[in-house]
Amino acid sequence: MKAAVLETLHQPLVYKDVPKPTAGKGEVLVKLKAAALNHRDVWIQKGLYPGIKVPQILGSDGAGVVEEVGEGVSDYWLEKEVIINPSQNWGDNPAYYGKDYKMLGLPDDGTFAEYVKVEARYLAIKPSHLTFEQAAALPLAGLTAWRALMSRVGLKEGERVLITGAGGGVALIAAQLAVAMGAEVWVTSGSDEKIQKSVAMGARGGVNYRTPTWYRDLLVKAQAPKTGYFDVIIDSAGGPGFARLIDVAAPGGRICFYGGTTGNIMDVVPAKVFFKQLNIYGSTMGTEQEFADMTLFVEEKEVVPVVDVVFPLSQAEEALRYMDAGQQFGKIVLSVEE
Task: Give pLDDT tens digits for 233-242.
Answer: 999 989 888 9
**Per-residue model confidence (pLDDT) at position 338:** 60
Neighbours of 16 (CB within 10 A): 12
Instruction: Answer yes or no: do 87 and 193 share one domain.
Output: no
The lowest-confidence range among 42-56, 85-99, 204-218, 258-272 is 258-272
Does 269 reside within a domain?
yes
Instruction: Answer yes or no: do 133 and 148 share one domain.
Output: no
Give the mean model confidence (pLDDT) for residues 180-206. Answer: 96
Higher pLDDT, 168 or 256: 256
Count: domains in the chain? 2
Does 268 reside within a domain?
yes
Instruction: Answer yes or no: do 56 and 114 share one domain.
Output: yes
Give the mean model confidence (pLDDT) for residues 114-122. Answer: 98
pLDDT higher than 90, residue 226: no
Using CB atoms within 10 Å of the CB of residue 160, give its burial: 0 to 12 exposed, 13 to 18 middle, 19+ buried: buried
Instruction: Answer yes or no: do 194 and 253 share one domain.
Output: yes
**Per-residue model confidence (pLDDT) at position 260:** 86
Instruction: Answer yes or no: do 185 and 131 share one domain.
Output: no
**Per-residue model confidence (pLDDT) at position 327:** 83
Relative to beta strand 205-208, strand 249-257 is: unpaired
pLDDT higher than 80, residue 105: yes
Does 296 reside within a domain?
no
Q: What is the CATH number of the domain that holds 272?
A: 3.40.50.720
CA angle 29, 138, 176 (to 5 degrees): 165
Does 297 reside within a domain?
no
**Per-residue model confidence (pLDDT) at position 175:** 97
Does 94 reside within a domain?
yes
For 202-254, the DSSP string reads T--EEEETTSTTHHHHHHHHTTTTTS--EEEEEES--STTHHHHHHHEEEEEE
227 — pLDDT class (breaks 50, 70, 90) = confident
**Per-residue model confidence (pLDDT) at position 284:** 94
160 — pLDDT class (breaks 50, 70, 90) = very high
Instruction: Answer yes or no: do 7 and 73 share one domain.
Output: yes
Contacts of 123 (CB under 8 A, 6+ apart): 28, 30, 66, 77, 80, 82, 83, 84, 85
Helices (H) and strands (E) in the chain, counts: 10, 18
Q: How many residues does the chain have?
A: 338
Instruction: Answer yes or no: do 231 and 151 share one domain.
Output: yes
Q: Structural domain of residue 242, as residue ranges?
A: 144-282
pLDDT higher than 90, residue 228: no
Instruction: Answer yes or no: do 258 and 328 share one domain.
Output: no
Does 288 reside within a domain?
no
- Mean per-residue pLDDT of the chain: 95
130 — pLDDT class (breaks 50, 70, 90) = very high
pLDDT higher than 80, residue 69: yes
Instruction: Answer yes or no: do 161 and 131 share one domain.
Output: no
**Per-residue model confidence (pLDDT) at position 45:** 97
pLDDT digits (tens, 9 = 90+) for 318-338: 999 999 998 899 999 999 976
Using CB atoms within 10 Å of the CB of residue 87, give its burial: 0 to 12 exposed, 13 to 18 middle, 19+ buried: buried
pLDDT higher than 70, residue 282: yes
Instruction: Answer yes or no: do 244 and 311 share one domain.
Output: no
Q: What is the CATH number of the domain that holds 114?
A: 3.90.180.10
Instruction: Answer yes or no: do 92 and 173 share one domain.
Output: no
Which amino acid, 48? L
Instruction: Answer yes or no: do 151 and 24 share one domain.
Output: no
pLDDT higher than 70, residue 129: yes
Cα 183 to Cα 35: distance, rounded to the nearest angstrom? 30
**Per-residue model confidence (pLDDT) at position 223:** 86
pLDDT digits (tens, 9 = 90+) for 89-98: 999 999 999 9
On whether the CB atoms of residues 187 and 329 are closer than 8 A, the answer is no
